[in-house]
Homo-oligomer: A and B are copies of this chain.
């Protein structure tokens, strides 16, 4: 009997389809094929690997209508949001193609021999097979073809991807698209495979073939993978992007001049996608006397969100988290009633006093849903319940935001500075969702936002996770891999004796 994964409709909570779970034999075969493909994938020049990613972008665009339809059934995220996300997926695949083709990530560095040192030639080669755990909440941008897969392939690593069980039929569509497109491009067999099921995921983390793990999900899920990987005879890095509360600070001038607008922006931002975003701003810190809690409550009542969640587990968790926050001293100011059917969960705005924000409190844990907390604090930063007292209690975040009164706000610089070291991205007068895929993006942050703040899962440096240096000492051209040969067959930018050099 083959185990199956049910495909549910979150809007009704009903099963409408099912897919087969990967058998242990299937998982072993995918890993073996990936391991065998690693040298072949590595040997493909980066400019050619880039064409695979461009082809995937094109295939995604061609299949967009059907993909969006299926995704909407299984996620209830809505056509508009999902259509935008498909376009974003195509754009990010093309971005990683551009980064791969540029060859900067390989960091070719040559030191010629001198009287006192040997010739040394270094570059970064692919780690090997990457196990990717696709996320539930962005079925395209962080899904089977998402940032982790694209940046791993761009780096020259084969991938074995665990599909998320929240959208299994969509997973099958994306898996076919991935495997078929790579085959048509002439990529080595085994360069990418998709597996499904909880056991399959565990097998990936323990597998000898796997050289790195990339994960986007909850803190508990990420922590479990980190623990499992630590049990391996040979440890491998787990690049886990986990939970984040993403605080928002409001300067005194902004609170005086723009508090109603900020309140609306905050509610729109934290309820988007039913609050199921890692960059959801979950905590608004505003100076006392600006009516922040009342204005956020008004905006919440206007918007009247009716969240439908991705899974029944996520839906159940929202209520539990809210109860925990209340036990820890928060008060519900407003909440939307649950719908009658399906995986609905309350949306809510809560208030808490500064004293509730102590390290380890449930008020400071991520609630993966359309729930946020407003805190009114002493406007004096250095006072007993001011920001300098509150901020060291907050866990690390992916993104922290400062809302200012614009260019002449006298407190803006101090407020931005207060957040240094507390988040991977500092946002000014905008909102954290909508992570642009660019050269300078950083989507990572201090624990528990990610396992190590050094790494990003979005942007050009996402490739860095999957590359490791090797240096050749006193080796002639005939012994060197293509990236290091003097005729530079891959046309890579290089640093020679410490000076950057573009390819001729």
Chain A interface residues toward B at CB < 8 A = 102, 107, 109-111, 116-118, 120-122, 125, 127-128, 230, 234-235, 237, 396, 402, 407, 412-413, 416, 420-421, 423-430, 436, 438-442, 444, 446-447, 451-454, 456, 460-461, 467-476, 478-479, 481, 495, 497-498, 500
Contact = CB atoms under 8 A, between A and B. Distances in A.
B473 A426 contact: yes
A500 B497 contact: no
Contact of A479 (B428, B456, B475): B428
23 contacts: A111-B438, A117-B436, A117-B438, A120-B438, A120-B441, A125-B421, A127-B453, A234-B447, A235-B451, A235-B452, A416-B472, A416-B479, A423-B470, A424-B470, A425-B470, A428-B473, A428-B476, A439-B495, A439-B497, A440-B471, A442-B469, A461-B469, A500-B500
A118 B478 contact: no
Contact of A439 (B109, B402, B436): B109
Contacts of A500: 500
Contacts of A127: 453
Contact of A471 (B425, B430, B497): B425
Contacts of A467: 454
Given A439-B111, A461-B469, A469-B444, A426 B475 contact: yes
Contacts of A447: 234-235
Given A235-B447, A447-B235, A426 B472 contact: yes
Contacts of A444: 469
Given A413-B479, A439-B497, A428 B474 contact: yes
Given A235-B447, A461-B469, A469-B461, A428 B475 contact: yes
A413 B476 CA distance: 10
B476 A407 contact: yes
Given A426-B472, A429-B474, A109 B440 contact: yes
Contacts of A474: 427-430
Contacts of A122: 440-442
A111 B440 contact: yes
A473 B427 contact: yes
Contact of A128 (B234, B413, B421, B430): B421
B471 A110 contact: no
Nearest to A480: B416
Contacts of A442: 122, 469-471
Contacts of A107: 461
Contacts of A472: 416, 425-426, 428
A471 B426 contact: yes
A268 to B, nearest CB: 17
Centre residue among A122, A407, A452, A476 by max chain B CB count within 10 A: A122
A406 to B, nearest CB: 9
